[in-house]
Amino acid sequence: MPHTDRVKCLLVDDVAENLIALEALLQRDDIDILKAQSGPEALELLLAHHDVALALLDVQMPEMNGFELAELIRGSERTRGIPLIFMTAGSREQNWQFKGYESGAVDFLYKPIDPHMLASKANVFFELHRRKQALAHELRERTAALRVNELFMAVLSHDLRTPLMSVSAAASALKRQPDMPPDKVATMAERILSSGQRMGRMIEDLLDVTRIRQAGGLAIKPVSASLRDVMERTLQEVQTSYPERVIESSFCGDLDGVWDAERLCQVITNLVGNAVHHGTPDQPVQVCADGTQASIVAVDVTNAGTIPPHLLDHLFNPFRGRDREPGRREGLGLGLFIAHQIVGAHQGRIAVHSADGITRFRLELPRVSRA
């Protein structure tokens, strides 16, 4: 749940005029007031709203009094931490206060309530709630940072080791056999080159993640560019790497705009590369760029095959690929995360739809992006 400076306060009283008076007393721009005129109505509001900072409960209500409502609130794991303040116009019987505190109340107020005292008490709980939210937000961020650091170490100790061992093995073979036939030398050289390029891509991905974490996003350098030129160059490079796969492309409309061409090349490479890797091998990958709209340029990358539903919500998370299929070693699971960040830096959006044997990534970019 994202951190917010707004807090919610629940008011429960069977008299509408009392609710209006309390709302007027506590209402501020950063306070969301929830009002209920009965216990059941209050419980419905608590089901619909999370993170309520304070609840003010009238004791004397028909059907369900304030004590009974408090017991139900305290009986739920999700709501038992909400501070409760009872309000009553009844007599100042000592056992009522005891019963209120036994029900989990933090205070017990008698009507007519002093407005300044109530506002001061409420503000204390609002501020405590904000601090609680801030601490929880910081804990989540630190936990996420710790997880990313652990995954960085895993990458350095495992993923980079594989291509490095391939480079070392090929270099050792060349050293041991200086008179190796030319065809074998070419094979070893190609293995070294391929492994080196793979390590280079991994290192660039890791550097991009570091930039994102440190700066809160990737910086872009938008200039006038043709998306068609970017895509044709990128698709040619991917086709050269996978000559056995069929990649079909189509372009329509005006594909000129203001973008960071090199970063968009990175996005297209990732989307088409994923389609090639994970799509059905005997079915073509289709790439379509549409520039017919005045302010938006769209790109669709489609392949045969379906992404499991439980993965769809996590495709753009960093290091998602750590739980990949056996035998697949093409990346770190950072590509889609970085692509998502690049598109966001262009004020665009990227989405995926996967059903009925077809997976489609859709990229929408404003025609003019600003750094």
**Higher per-residue pLDDT: 66 or 99:** 66
> What is the pTM (predicted TM-score) of this model?
0.56
> Average pLDDT for residues 116-133, to the nearest whole number?
91
pLDDT in tens, 40-73: 999 999 999 988 999 999 988 888 988 889 989 9
pLDDT in tens, 177-198: 888 888 888 888 888 887 887 7
Sign of the C-alpha dihedral, residues 258, 263, 269, 274?
negative
pLDDT in tens, 126-167: 999 999 988 988 898 888 777 777 766 766 666 677 678 888
| Residue 96 pLDDT grade (very low, low, confident, very high; cuts 50, 70, 90) | low
Residue 24: closest CA among 154, 122, 128: 122
pLDDT in tens, 271-322: 998 899 899 999 999 999 999 999 999 999 999 999 988 888 888 887 654 4
pLDDT in tens, 160-176: 776 788 888 888 888 88
> Average pLDDT for residues 112-133, to the nearest whole number?
90
pLDDT in tens, 323-333: 444 444 445 56
> Average pLDDT for residues 254-261, to the nearest whole number?
95
**The pLDDT of residue 78:** 87
**The pLDDT of residue 98:** 63
The helix (H) or strand (E) run that includes residue 7 is strand 7-12
In the chain, the domains with their CATH numbers are 7-137 (3.40.50.2300), 160-215 (no CATH), 223-366 (3.30.565.10)
Sequence-distant (≥ 6) Cβ neighbours of residue 262 within 8 angstroms:
none
Number of other CB atoms surrounding residue 221 within 10 Å? 10
Strands 285-291 and 296-304: antiparallel
**pLDDT cut 70: percent of the chain above it:** 87
Sequence-distant (≥ 6) Cβ neighbours of residue 271 within 8 angstroms:
299, 301, 339, 361, 363
Sequence-distant (≥ 6) Cβ neighbours of residue 133 within 8 angstroms:
3, 4, 51
